[in-house]
Amino acid sequence: MKYRIEHDTIGEIKVAECALWGAQTQRSFENFVIGDYKMPLEIIHAIAAIKYSAAVANEKLGKLSKDKAELIQKSAKLIIDGKYDDQFPLVVWQTGSGTQTNMNVNEVIAHIAPKLHANDDVNMSQSTNDVFPSAISVATCASITCYLLPATKDLIKTFKNLEDENKNVIKVGRTHLQDATPVTFGQEVSAWRVMLETNVEMINSALNYVKRLPLGGTAVGTGLNSPANFDAEAVKALNDLLDFDFEPLDNKFYGLSSKDAIVNVHGAIKSLACNLMKIANDIRLLASGPRCGLGEINIPANEPGSSIMPGKVNPTQCEALTQVVCEVIGNDTTITLAASQGNFQLNAYMPVIAFKIIESINLLSDAIASFNKKCALGISVNLDKMSANVENSLMTATALNTVIGYEKAAELVKYAHKNNVSLYQANDILKIVDKNVLKETLNPKKMI
């Protein structure tokens, strides 16, 4: 391999001739050989968008020539569009501020347009300490808005259709995994739908805090080397570029040292994950069987379920989704711990925060889309099984409480269960209530 010599304030270093990065990227590449996880491209593209916007602001404020500003914008746009994704080799596990990744972007832009200096031009009016947290926010908002929320809304639509189709299908309700009073399957599905709708509201609310960017704070929040009004101009340019509604954060000291907005939005994402766990578990339990489980619903048979048991079909989409949920909950713990570790004017755990929140968003987006397409859309109802379960349930006796009282109703239930007979047969023997009254009271349609 052919090399060229690059230099920085530490000295000279060899860089592969084909690489578009410089000395600081190369040092990080050599010094942090830790794992295989690279800095997410979503963060890289967000940093490039900030470089583009900073160039617009710096030109407008008289800090940067039009020629250099246009070169930065053109080069940054190529990075945003994914043309140079192979030029960002640095791992997540690096300096806690993300400085080397910020410099990686600066250096690549400066190599695409050799007239530029990575620090003096591309990084003008900026510090990693305000760029990197802003990039986390930009990438988080973009990923949630473009992927997670649309996937969730598609699943909501699927459940709304399933709910409407089964609004009159009566089945046994269950609490504590035990028989309870009847519900319709539509009512059961409506809970899933509203869970997800509520999660969308929670996430959108949390995004309001993420959209406040600390750009212009530079190194410690004072804005040293950043001209007056840079924050407003840079954020305006960013909104024009990405079609978002970011706003400058008033207190930059807070924005550099605290990551509570990311903790908050990931908490909302975790809430979505928890509800998805409940929904997936409900579905695989309702579909359990086909002969010896609940068997009240049918799910698509996507692949053979066993290497030894012929004809077996498993709820694999439910299992994939719930595994993703476990990862997201683990990521929440990592983000929570990392965000608690800010010292003085900086949180130096930002790369892992960036990595984990983007991973959670991407995994959940993919898992929800897969679950919807390969499972939820194919759910059908086993009407015979649902009807038989309602017929066999003893908990319809709850409706007798207002007729004969709790204790007499319990006596009827216990006798029926002990002797393996129906409530009607038990009443024929115990003669607790008039037959016609019993029939009228135990009508499941009146209990929903």
Catalytic, 266? Answer no
Sorted by sequence, the CB contacts under 8 Å of residue 217 that are 6+ apart come out as 127, 129, 130, 223, 226, 231, 249, 252, 253, 255, 256
At 239, which helix (H) or strand (E)? helix 230-242
Q: Which residues pair with 172 in a beta bridge?
A: 182
Report how far apart, in Å, the C-alpha atoms of 370 and of each of 104, 158, 189, 354, 364 are.
Answer: 34, 13, 19, 24, 10
Tokens representing residue 392 in the block: 């066999």
Contact 51, 84 (CB under 8 A): no
Helix (H) or strand (E) holding 172: strand 170-175
Sole residue written with tokens 């719930």: 322
**Whole-number Å distance between alpha carbons of 36 and 91:** 7
> Which contacts of 322-326 are long-range, i.e. CB under 8 A and separated by 24 or more positions?
322/276, 322/277, 322/280, 322/281, 324/273, 324/363, 324/364, 324/366, 324/367, 325/273, 325/274, 325/276, 325/277, 325/280
Nearest residue to 153 (alpha-carbon basis) of 197, 191, 194, 187: 197
DSSP class of 395: G
> How many helical (H) and strand (E) elements, i.e. helices and strands, does the chain have?
17, 8
Q: Give the Cα separation of 25 and 20 in Å (integer).
A: 10
- Where does residue 92 rank: exposed (0-12), middle (13-18), buried (19+ CB within 10 A)? buried
Q: Residue 327 corresponds to which tokens in the numbers above? A: 């990862």
Find tokens 């009004």 and name the residue.
229
Q: Point out the catalytic residue in the list 306, 340, 380, 417.
A: 306
- Mark whether 176 is an active-site residue: yes
Q: What is the number of residues in the chain?
A: 448
* Position 253, amino acid: F
Catalytic residues: 176, 306
